[in-house]
Amino acid sequence: MEFEKFKTMQFPRDVYVGHGVLPNIVPVAGRYMKTGSILIITGKITYDLAGKEVETHLQSAGYDVKVIKADKADVVNLQMVEEEASGKHIGMIVGVGGGTKIDLAKKASYDLNVPFVSVPTSPSHDGIASPRASIRKEKLTVSQEAAMPIAIIADTQILAKAPYRYLRAGAADVISNLTALLDWKLANRLHGEEYSTSAAAISEYAARELLEKSHMIMEGVEESVWLVTKQILASGTAMAIAGSSRPASGSEHLLAHALELSNPGTSIHGEQCAMGSVVSMFLHGGDWQVLANAYSRMGLSIRAKDYNIPDTVVIKALSTAHRIRPERYTILGEKDISLNASEKALEITGII
Ligand SMILES: [Zn+2]
């Protein structure tokens, strides 16, 4: 048989991470902007935090800059951004913010086919370096294909200003790669799903680094931000190699999404992933306590009560989480987990 395998990988070309790297937006624009204006997508708070500075640097370098302040990453705002950009000859889009602004910017860049630069202001999840965007349509959030950033400018001085809750959530999002990898291997063994050893190795490395250094993830320490951000970027690389979110998203993410749907607003993504990874590790028969201990060292609670999520909601969410993304095979299987088994797993792991 002839060899017919092929794959495409897209990586960011420039990654600036560390203290005071924000001014590098100017050389980045110099390299990837051909003609036209630069569109900055940011929010009210994130504009003050970093958007204004990005705008000033670019304007001083002679670029024409337009700023859009949006709040949610939903279809309405996406349309607004794309209408705003149409006919204006936008040469580059810069997303400045936490998850939602980055998501909007990367989806708009993808749709409009212009280079996208990611300037995260919060280290709360691995979306700052991935080619997937979560866009809300009515009540449902769907993960869609979006632009891989051509450059990432992650200034730890700015990221350190985000509340500590976001940092430890970002760390948990990366640590939870460990269960995503078990799910991926399972899907490979049971269903022959394409598996990439190199993507898995990088994803696992990122997770283990943070697991081992969880005692160094502390409030108010810029170096903690550095540690976490580097591994968020590594996680993004793993997804770029795999060409999917598989190395970083398995059953723990299914539970996270199920919790977000059934009890929105009280817990953030990384916290939901932390809960998900502990119970998923238990279901895999792995050492879930190692994960629980690491989260506890970072001050991250995995108790649903601490996020005002009723026990019944978590039990139901775990039992039905597999329905969220049926094509993504995980330890949660293809049938609802019985409510009894779900309750037991959550009780043993201390989530309820
Ligand atoms: Zn995630």
If asked whether residues 133 and 235 sit together in one domain, one would say no
Q: Which of 279, 276, 271 is nearest to 346 (CA)?
A: 279
Distance CA 209, CA 24 (A): 28
pLDDT class of 104 with cuts at 50, 70, 90 = very high
The mean of the pLDDT values for the chain is 95
Residue given tokens 């051909």 in the structure block: 34
If asked whether residues 177 and 147 sit together in one domain, one would say no
75: exposed, middle or buried (C-beta count within 10 Å: 0-12, 13-18, 19+)? Answer: middle
Ligand 1 geometric centre to CA of 257 (Å): 9
If asked whether residues 199 and 149 sit together in one domain, one would say no
Ligand 1 geometric centre to CA of 243 (Å): 16
Ligand 1 geometric centre to CA of 252 (Å): 9
Ligand 1 geometric centre to CA of 247 (Å): 11
pLDDT at position 69 = 95
Least confident of 45-49, 123-127, 252-256, 300-304: 123-127
Ligand 1 geometric centre to CA of 128 (Å): 10
Q: Flag whether 84 is in a domain.
A: yes
Which of 159, 187, 222 is a domain's end point?
159
CATH code (residue 299) = 1.20.1090.10
pLDDT at position 58 = 98
Full residue range of the structural domain in which residue 265 is found? 164-348
Ligand 1 geometric centre to CA of 270 (Å): 6
Which of 106, 141, 159 is a domain's end point?
159
Going by C-beta distance under 8 Å and a sequence separation of 6 or more, which residues neighbour residue 342?
A: 315, 316, 318, 319
If asked whether residues 97 and 115 sit together in one domain, one would say yes
Ligand 1 geometric centre to CA of 167 (Å): 13
* Beta-carbon neighbours within 5 Å of ion ligand 1: 125, 173
Ligand 1 geometric centre to CA of 85 (Å): 29
**What's the whole-model pTM score?**
0.94
If asked whether residues 74 and 136 sit together in one domain, one would say yes
For the cut 90, the answer to whether the pLDDT of residue 112 exceeds it is yes
If asked whether residues 260 and 152 sit together in one domain, one would say no
Q: Flag whether 3 is in a domain.
A: no
pLDDT at position 94 = 97
If asked whether residues 169 and 145 sit together in one domain, one would say no
Distance CA 235, CA 248 (A): 7
Q: Flag whether 54 is in a domain.
A: yes
If asked whether residues 338 and 192 sit together in one domain, one would say yes
If asked whether residues 216 and 307 sit together in one domain, one would say yes
If asked whether residues 225 and 342 sit together in one domain, one would say yes
Between the alpha carbon of residue 73 and those of residues 21, 96, 242, 249, the distances in Å are 26, 13, 25, 20
pLDDT digits (tens, 9 = 90+) for 129-163: 888 888 888 777 777 888 899 999 999 999 999 99
Instruction: Give the count of domains, the chain.
Output: 2
CATH code (residue 113) = 3.40.50.1970
Mean pLDDT of all residues in 248-262: 95
pLDDT at position 175 = 98
Mean pLDDT of all residues in 246-270: 95
Ligand 1 geometric centre to CA of 27 (Å): 30
Least confident of 138-142, 223-227, 262-266: 138-142
Going by C-beta distance under 8 Å and a sequence separation of 6 or more, which residues neighbour residue 352?
A: 303, 304, 305, 311, 314, 315, 343, 346
pLDDT class of 71 with cuts at 50, 70, 90 = confident
pLDDT at position 278 = 98
Mean pLDDT of all residues in 169-177: 98
